[in-house]
């Protein structure tokens, strides 16, 4: 039976600010974090190769690095930052063996890890989706976990990242590319080479401390600044392929030294496809290259006929593919690649902050004996480029993006609607600067994933979790309102991409929804969509992927402790439960449960018995004791104030 449903989600955020701190004094090893050639894709890749299983062995460990010149401790995969590339074909099976080599200490909650493969449909492998407490338990230090899933009918530019707290910002993220003969843009015909461009923001402090400084009164965190009012933070620098510039004059005597700008070497008179990712926690970015117009060809993983433009905006967790023609000069020519942060969406900015970063596009010879020039660019910015003001913090105009392939019209037989006006659909930041949810804590319990509850035939507790059920097969509408006066919010739904079928200013109400005229004529499909401040959107999905799927804001603190990002860390998340009866027919691998068992001993050893550490924020100790039994109880520090 075909069904459609609607759930409304609202959020409101108050103006707040916070302070940073230095990194933890771990015993770490030095790594060459940015690997040469790591962001050049394999030009001999065979997109017609028969489906195969591709295995990736990853070790998560500490590293000491200076991405922007300021020395700090990091968490990295295989000694690389950004993390290693996953490059596969449509139809391949993927095995990722992730070993968590972090220490078991008195701060276990900062060392538990899971990885999300952002944008992967995961149809039939919901257990491998990644969000701790929703589909999985985290991997404890000293142990490994094997992800295995098939890349179904999808291709494009994706990424992977940590999905516990905001540890993505500590270094745990990387690119994920799926090639396919079905991609309408092919190497050799539409472009000659392709590269990765990974953009993001960076902070001096490890994210656990940044998060606590925004949610608790921790005076010792204020030593970097004169005051530390509660707020989602701005970053300290902007990175391009893992390299940026921090204002080292602010922190003398700590060995801070800005690195040279990252370089992208290209051949003259060639066409280059760039796959661009913004992994930032809070930075809405503008991108341009002097003298090189960019033609947009993909939004997230949707191929599009896009505009040829001089600059474009890219929001948090979004991806854009674009092509340039390197015909602006001979060998030896150099041009600035410019990344500028839109500052209006940031509620408090450090006075020393540099809101931009530069890379170098360098024309080189195809003859390896001819060494590249070393001169720096003197190129000028595009005449129309201006510092982004309050009117510029917005997503790319959707009318400029015409999807290629896929259904040209959206399923529009909305025969039923679902409206939940209470705790399951509303997210707020409460008064006084504390992070909270409206009438609920929205707790995500790391050791009791919601998927397990659903598979066992249980019901989620609506006083604890935000969720809704879509039981039938058909179209489902999700309405999201952004009540924030200051900030745009990137909303991401796990599994399938969605259609953006309506959007507008103000708040979306049930009465408004019933009278909307939807755009069903080939609207844009995305897995992440920016909703401007004081605005709303309706996204439409097909309920053909049974599972418990996270819907959350990708600003990094707004998810409960188990999830990603600032707003995800603070509670702006819900679970979309699709076809619960078919979820119960799926089989979860035994090792999935073995990881849960490992937590009992690890938790008791480090979280209950160790002084000064009282457990996972976002998971009350009482919930754990009810599940496993505890010999001792202590007051629990958690983010759901």
Higher pLDDT, 265 or 630: 265
Q: Report the C-alpha gap between 596 and 458 in whole angstroms.
A: 19
Sheet strand arrangement including 86-89? 86-89, 173-179, 156-162, 115-118
Name the residue with tokens 């035994």: 590
Of the pLDDT bands very low, low, confident and very high (cuts 50, 70, 90), residue 445 is low
Q: What is the pLDDT averaged over residues 486-499?
A: 88
pLDDT per residue over 307-343, tens digit each? 999 999 999 999 999 999 999 999 999 999 999 998 8
* Residue 348: per-residue pLDDT: 67
* Residue 139: per-residue pLDDT: 83
Interior angle at CA 124, CA 119 and CA 130, nearest 5: 45
Phi/psi at 352 (5° precision): -95, 0
Of the pLDDT bands very low, low, confident and very high (cuts 50, 70, 90), residue 628 is very low
Q: Report the C-alpha gap between 454 and 127 in whole angstroms.
A: 12
Higher pLDDT, 237 or 615: 237
Q: Report the C-alpha gap between 483 and 184 in whole angstroms.
A: 38
* Residue 351: per-residue pLDDT: 73
Among the listed residues 313, 277, 312, 265, the one whose alpha carbon sits nearest the alpha carbon of residue 293: 312
- Which among 4-18, 246-260, 560-574 has the top mean pLDDT? 246-260
pLDDT per residue over 586-609, tens digit each? 888 888 777 766 655 555 444 443
Q: Report the C-alpha gap between 427 and 430 in whole angstroms.
A: 9
Q: Report the C-alpha gap between 568 and 484 in whole angstroms.
A: 15
Q: Evaluate whether 193 touches 272 at the Cβ level (below 8 Å).
A: yes
Question: Residue 308: beta bridge partners?
Answer: 295
Higher pLDDT, 203 or 375: 375
The b/e string for 388-400 (b: 16+ C-beta within 10 A; e otherwise) is beeebbbbbebee
* Residue 215: per-residue pLDDT: 56
Cis peptide before 82 (omega within 30 of 0): yes
Q: CB atoms < 10 A from the CB of 457, how many?
A: 9
Say whether pLDDT at 226 is over 80: no
* Residue 323: per-residue pLDDT: 99
Of the pLDDT bands very low, low, confident and very high (cuts 50, 70, 90), residue 231 is low
Interior angle at CA 345, CA 533 and CA 555, nearest 5: 85
Q: What is the pLDDT averaged over residues 365-394?
A: 83
* Residue 20: per-residue pLDDT: 27
Higher pLDDT, 310 or 448: 310
Please count the CA atoms within 13 angstroms of the CA of 637 that sit on its side-chain side: 17
Say whether pLDDT at 616 is over 80: no
* Residue 560: per-residue pLDDT: 37
Least confident of 23-37, 299-313, 526-540, 615-629: 615-629
Q: Report the C-alpha gap between 270 and 54 in whole angstroms.
A: 31
Least confident of 490-499, 510-519, 596-605: 596-605
Q: Report the C-alpha gap between 200 and 207 in whole angstroms.
A: 15
* Residue 154: per-residue pLDDT: 96
pLDDT per residue over 130-189, tens digit each? 887 788 878 888 889 999 999 999 999 999 998 765 566 788 899 999 999 999 999 999
Q: What is the pLDDT averaged over residues 454-462?
A: 83
Of the pLDDT bands very low, low, confident and very high (cuts 50, 70, 90), residue 238 is very high
Residue 355 Cα distances to 161, 234, 298, 385, 387, angstroms? 24, 10, 26, 15, 10
* Residue 459: per-residue pLDDT: 82
Question: Rounded to a whole number, what is the distance in angstroms from the first to the last CA of the chain?
Answer: 42
SS3 340: strand
Torsion (CA) 242, 245, 249, 252 in degrees, nearest 10: 10
Q: Tell me whether residue 577 is exposed, middle or buried, using C-beta atoms within 10 angstroms of its C-beta: 0 to 12, 13 to 18, 19 or more.
A: buried
> How do beta strands 237-240 and 173-179 pair?
unpaired
Cα 279 off chain centre by: 5
Q: What is the pLDDT averaged over residues 196-220?
A: 70
Say whether pLDDT at 568 is over 50: no
Among the listed residues 73, 58, 69, 57, the one whose alpha carbon sits nearest the alpha carbon of residue 22: 73
- Token pair of 130, please? 């990644």
pLDDT per residue over 65-101, tens digit each? 899 998 888 889 999 999 999 999 999 999 999 998 8
Of the pLDDT bands very low, low, confident and very high (cuts 50, 70, 90), residue 296 is very high
**Mean of the per-residue pLDDT values for the chain?**
76
Q: What is the pLDDT averaged over residues 372-384?
A: 93
* Residue 468: per-residue pLDDT: 83
Domains detected in the chain:
2-15+406-583 (2.60.40.420), 53-183 (2.60.40.420), 207-403 (2.60.40.420)
pLDDT per residue over 14-66, tens digit each? 222 222 223 333 333 344 587 778 888 988 999 999 999 999 999 998 888 89
Please count the CA atoms within 13 angstroms of the CA of 413 that sit on its side-chain side: 6
Higher pLDDT, 536 or 215: 536
Higher pLDDT, 512 or 364: 364
pLDDT per residue over 177-200, tens digit each? 999 999 999 999 999 999 999 999
């Amino acid at each position: 039976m075909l069904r459609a449903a609607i759930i409304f989600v609202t959020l409101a955020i108050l103006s707040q600010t916070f302070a940073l701190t230095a990194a933890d004094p771990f015993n770490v090893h030095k790594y060459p974090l940015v690997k040469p050639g790591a962001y050049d894709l394999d030009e001999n890749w065979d997109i017609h190769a028969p489906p195969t299983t591709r295995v990736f062995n990853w070790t998560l460990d500490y590293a000491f690095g200076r991405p922007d010149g300021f020395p700090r401790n990091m968490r990295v995969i295989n000694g690389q930052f950004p993390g290693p590339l996953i490059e596969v074909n449509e139809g391949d099976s993927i095995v990722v063996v992730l070993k968590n080599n972090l220490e078991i200490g008195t701060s276990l909650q900062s060392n538990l890890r899971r990885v999300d493969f952002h944008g992967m449909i995961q149809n039939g492998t919901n257990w491998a989706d990644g969000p701790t407490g929703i589909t999985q338990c985290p991997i404890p230090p000293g142990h490994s976990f094997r992800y295995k899933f098939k890349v179904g009918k999808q291709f494009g530019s994706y990424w992977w990242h940590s999905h516990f707290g905001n540890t993505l910002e500590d270094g745990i993220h990387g690119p994920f590319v799926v090639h396919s003969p079905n991609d309408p843009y092919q190497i050799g015909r539409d472009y000659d080479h392709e590269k990765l461009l990974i953009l993001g923001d960076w902070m001096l402090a490890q994210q656990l401390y940044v998060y606590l400084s925004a949610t608790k009164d921790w005076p010792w965190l204020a030593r970097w600044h004169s005051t530390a009012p509660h707020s989602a933070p701005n970053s300290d620098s902007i990175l391009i392929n893992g390299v940026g510039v921090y204002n080292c004059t602010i922190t003398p005597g700590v060995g801070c030294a800005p690195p040279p700008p990252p370089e992208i070497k290209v051949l003259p008179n060639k066409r280059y496809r760039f796959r661009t990712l913004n992994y930032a926690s809070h930075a809405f970015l503008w991108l341009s290259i002097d003298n090189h117009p960019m033609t947009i060809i993909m939004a997230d993983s949707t191929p599009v006929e896009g505009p040829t433009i001089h600059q474009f905006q890219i929001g948090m967790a979004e991806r854009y593919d674009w092509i340039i023609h390197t015909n602006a000069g001979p060998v030896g020519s150099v041009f600035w690649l410019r990344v500028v942060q839109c500052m209006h969406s940031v509620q408090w900015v450090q006075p020393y902050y540099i809101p931009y970063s530069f890379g170098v596009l360098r024309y080189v010879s195809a003859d390896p004996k001819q060494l590249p020039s070393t001169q720096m660019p003197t190129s000028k910015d595009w005449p129309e480029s201006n510092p982004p003001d309050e009117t510029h913090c917005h997503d790319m105009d959707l009318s400029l993006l015409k999807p290629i392939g896929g259904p040209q019209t959206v399923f529009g037989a909305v025969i039923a609607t679902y409206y939940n006006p209470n705790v399951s659909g509303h997210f707020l930041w409460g008064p006084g600067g504390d992070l909270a949810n409206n009438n609920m804590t929205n707790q995500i319990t790391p050791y009791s994933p919601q998927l397990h509850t659903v598979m066992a035939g249980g019901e989620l507790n609506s006083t604890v979790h935000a969720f809704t059920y879509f039981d039938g097969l058909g179209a489902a509408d999700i309405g999201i309102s952004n009540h924030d006066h200051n900030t745009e919010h990137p909303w991401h739904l796990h599994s399938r991409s969605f259609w953006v079928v309506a959007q507008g200013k103000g708040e979306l109400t049930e009465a408004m929804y019933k009278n909307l005229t939807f755009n069903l004529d080939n609207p844009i499909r995305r897995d992440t969509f920016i909703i401007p401040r004081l605005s709303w959107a309706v996204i439409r999905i097909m309920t053909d992927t049974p599972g418990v799927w996270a819907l959350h804001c990708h600003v990094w603190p707004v998810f409960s402790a188990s999830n990603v990002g600032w707003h995800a860390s603070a509670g702006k998340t819900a679970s979309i439960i699709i076809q619960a009866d078919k979820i119960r027919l799926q089989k979860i691998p035994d090792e999935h449960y073995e990881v849960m068992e490992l937590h009992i001993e690890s938790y008791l050893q480090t979280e209950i018995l160790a002084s000064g550490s009282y457990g996972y924020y976002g998971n009350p100790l009482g919930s754990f004791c009810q599940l496993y039994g505890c010999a001792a109880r202590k007051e629990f520090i958690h983010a759901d104030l």
